[in-house]
Structure formats: structure tokens, C-alpha cells
Amino acid sequence: MAGDTGLDLITGAFSFTGRAIAARLLESGRAVKTLTAHPDRPNPLAGPIEAAPYTFDEPERLARVMEGVTTFYNTYWVRFERGRATFAQAVRNSRTLFQAAREAGVRRIVHISIAKADAAPTLPYYRGKAQAERELASVGVAYSVVRPALVYGHGDVLVNNLAWLLRRLPVFAIPGSGGYGVRPVHVNDVARLCVEAAAGEGNGTVDAVGPETFTFRDWVVLVRDAVGARSWLVQVPAPLVSPLTGVIGRVLGDVLLTRDELEGLMAGLVTTDGPATGRIVFSDWLAEHASEVGRSYASEVRRHFDR
């Protein structure tokens, strides 16, 4: 493609989605740089990837890091608010990243958002995601937005910890009826869609959703049976779920499920009606990896906030 320097930059290339994008780019022969909150943390990709810290209070330094970059893949966000890491701050930081990319002459931005980002303005997580998309659209750089539903794969948090709980709890709470939809997409499919979007022209948005759709209850049953668990599934009124997960989270020193995630799940925001863009079948992947999924707990707090 015209103006291609062969160099790309990813925020969070040592994390979950960013790592999958980075691996795909490196395999294709591209050079990769990253901006990360943990530039010195050991990582298998740390060797071939040049790492620099986020300097949101010094945007000119961000722009210098981005000089010579063809595509900027942005995975930066916060799953929940903690300390100074708020959704409002995440929107401001996203704007700073987009503006730095423009100043550095980046050719294209591929931004990871969330399915139905603009469908729940009353939920701070979704509202922030929608605001970040609007900031991207206003910055003046060609862009693509990739909107995953529920992302799974090696190193994920949500599916792994669901299996971890099912392996250990005699009773598992299903919020409400459990009849709302879930459409999981593999992280490698998300990475493929991002790289494909980088080769596109103009601006656009694509949903990242897998070929299978489940009700939440059926999905939990599938995971439970695959890992050989015997948890009794009990329907629980939605207002009781957050206090229950909050207690478990405090014991683990982590956040199991946020209010926005619960309400978004029950509102049908973790699925779409469009065609599948992912190719990997969740039930097939689960059958192959059932022996390892949920064997150890994956802490979001330790992963992102432990210095």
C-alpha cells in the first residue's frame, strides 16, 4: 500500500488482544512497536517489539514514538474504574493518542471498541466507548473501528474465570432468565479483522462476532459440561448478582463482574444480528482446550494495576 513504512504500533502489545495483533503482524514480516503501562514487564514478545511507556501528560513524546508508523492499532481502554483510571480519563487518553497519531503522520488508525458501543448511553463503560469512537472520527486520520462482542482465547479473563468458578463452586448464579444472547469471538479472529481493516480505504466499522450464538444459560452449561464441573445452575434476580460477585471479588482481590457488564449482558449487548465475521467455532475450541481452561484464576487487577 502507498506510503507503507513496514512499521506498525500497537497499544498494549503485551496484553491480550494486542498480543494477538502483534503476533500476526510479526509473522507477516512487519516491524512492531508498542506503548504500554508495563514496558519492563517480562513478555515473550518483548524481544522483537520496541516498548515505550504511555506519557499521556506529554503528548509530544507519544508523537515521537509514533513517527514512521503506518498503522496505529489502539487496544487501550479500562475494563472498570480504579483509582485515577476512570472512563472519563480513558476517553481523554484515547483522544491524546489519536491526536499524537495525526501529528506523527500515521496513515491509518484501527481502534478496538465494543459491540453495540452506542446502544447503552446510560452505562458508563459503553458511553465511554462511544465517546472514544467519536473522538476518533473527529481527529482527521483514516480509521477503522472493530467492535468485538465477548472475546475468548488463550490468556482471556472472562471465559477462563467462568470455567474457574464452575470448577470450584457447587452453585452458580444465572442472572435472571439466562435467555439473553452471547456471541463469543476468538481473539485471533479479532486480530485478523484488525489487520484486514488496516489494508482498507476510507472509514468504517465492523463487528467482530463468531459463528455461534448461545443463550447465556446454554453457554454456561456448555462450559460447565466441557470442563467436567458439576455446579448447580440457579436463576437469581439480577439485583442480587452484583453483591454476590462483589463478595467473591473481594476474597480474590479482583473484580469478577462489573455492573455495566451485567446490565449489558442482560440487555443483549454481547451479541449482534449480523453475519459472522469470526471463523473459529467456540464449541470446537472449548472441546480442544477444556482440560486447561479455568485451571488457574486470571486476575484483572494483577494484570493491569499491579506495578
Domain boundaries, the chain: 7-152+185-208, 158-182+212-304
**pLDDT score recorded for residue 1:** 46
Share of the chain above pLDDT 70, in %: 98
256-283 burial by CB neighbour count: b if 16+ within 10 A, else e? bbbebbbbbbbebbbbbeeebbbebebb
The candidate with the shortest Cα–Cα distance to 150, out of 292, 269, 55, 306, is: 269
The candidate with the shortest Cα–Cα distance to 187, out of 36, 10, 24, is: 24
**pLDDT score recorded for residue 2:** 54
The Cα–Cα gap between 77 and 84 comes to: 13
- Number of Cα atoms under 13 Å in the Cβ half of residue 166: 25
**pLDDT score recorded for residue 46:** 67
In the chain, the amino acid numbered 39 is P
The Cα–Cα gap between 293 and 182 comes to: 18
Tell me the pLDDT tens digit for each residue of 60-96.
999 999 999 999 999 999 999 998 899 999 999 999 9
**pLDDT score recorded for residue 109:** 98
Tell me the pLDDT tens digit for each residue of 113-167.
999 999 999 999 999 999 999 999 999 999 999 999 999 999 999 999 999 999 9
The H-or-E segment that residue 134 falls in is helix 124-138
Q: Which CATH class is domain 158-182+212-304?
A: alpha beta
What parts of the chain have a pLDDT lower than 50?
1
Helix (H, G, I), strand (E, B) or coil at 171: strand
**Domain 7-152+185-208 falls under CATH 3.40.50.720:** yes
Write down the pTM of the prediction.
0.96
13-36 burial by CB neighbour count: b if 16+ within 10 A, else e? bbbbbbbbbbbbbbeeebbbbbbb
